[in-house]
Amino acid sequence: MARIAGVIPSRWGSTRFPGKSLAIIAGKPMVQWVVERVKQAQKLDCVIVATDDQRIADCVNGLKFPGVKVAMTRPDHPSGTDRIAEAVQDLELDAVINVQGDEPLIDPALIDELADVIASGEWDMATAATLIEDETQVNDPSVVKAVFSRDGQALYFSRSTIPHIREPHGIDHTGIYWRHIGIYAYRRDYLLKLVAEPPCALENLEKLEQLRALNMGCKMKVIKTEDFGIGVDTPSDVAKAEALLVKL
């Protein structure tokens, strides 16, 4: 049976929201919400919070959750992917699931589904996408669109509107546009290979690191999901997250 870790990258120096991991949301620091959601997944052997800040480490250690560890990592990592790679490089694992540290509403069932896909050994990576139902998101560059084949193989991700409809008149848009959700499962060996590769031209243009993996020929499965959650990117997102959490 594959040994799989859920790793939550949690840095202090967010440009738009410094210290957001410890922002209080409905009475708890955000990192606690994320850890609690990840711990509800059934297919993980352990949960690791990969951080660069002692304040975040102290908070997580103070929760005293069984099976949850803290990995102190360098402060200069360019991405969460690099941070989790440092956290697991010396661990005996088969796979890693990267759960963003600003997703207090991440669905544990989605984590388990990704764990099953990566444990199958058929894929280098796995991620998720949800159907875009709000037309305003189709042309929004902050909403990353995913295009994938009938078996789920990722073909491309873009901030542009893809696929482009050449003759839009009379075309039903249902099921055409998919929003990428930034959760990833990696085979451990592929993760270490990925972070050793320099960014490619497409990644630099779109500012999407998953394009580096596709440029390397990655077999990346895209899971269809209805879960979207909410990313807490700015202080104004706290109230939105609280409104959703009280409904749980």
Other beta carbons within 10 Å of 23: 20
DSSP string, 24-37: EETTEEHHHHHHHH
Query: Which three-class secondary structure state does DSSP give residue 45?
Result: coil
Q: Between 191 and 243, whose confidence is greater?
A: 191
pLDDT (tens digit per residue) in 92-120: 999 999 999 888 889 999 999 999 999 99
- Return phi, psi of residue 212, to 5°: -65, -45
Q: Which of 8-12, 17-21, 23-27, 158-162 has maximum average pLDDT? A: 158-162
- ω before 163 within 30° of 0 (cis)? yes
Predicted pLDDT of residue 236:
74
Inter-axis angle of helices 30-39 and 108-119, nearest 10: 50
User: How does residue 228 score in pLDDT terms, banded at 50, 70 and 90?
Assistant: low
Predicted pLDDT of residue 54:
95
Count the domains in the chain.
1
Q: Between 231 and 34, whose confidence is greater?
A: 34
pTM metric for this prediction = 0.92
- Any alpha helices (H) in 64-200, and if so which ranges? 80-88, 108-119, 188-196
Tell me what percent of the residues of the chain surpass a pLDDT of 90. Answer: 72
- Rounded mean pLDDT of the chain? 91
**Which CATH number covers residue 199?**
3.90.550.10
Predicted pLDDT of residue 245:
74
Its domain, for residue 228, covers 4-245
User: How does residue 174 score in pLDDT terms, banded at 50, 70 and 90?
Assistant: confident
User: How does residue 26 score in pLDDT terms, banded at 50, 70 and 90?
Assistant: confident
Predicted pLDDT of residue 247:
67
Q: Using alpha carbons only, give the angle 190, 192, 198 rounded to the nearest 5 degrees.
A: 100
pLDDT (tens digit per residue) in 232-244: 777 777 778 777 7
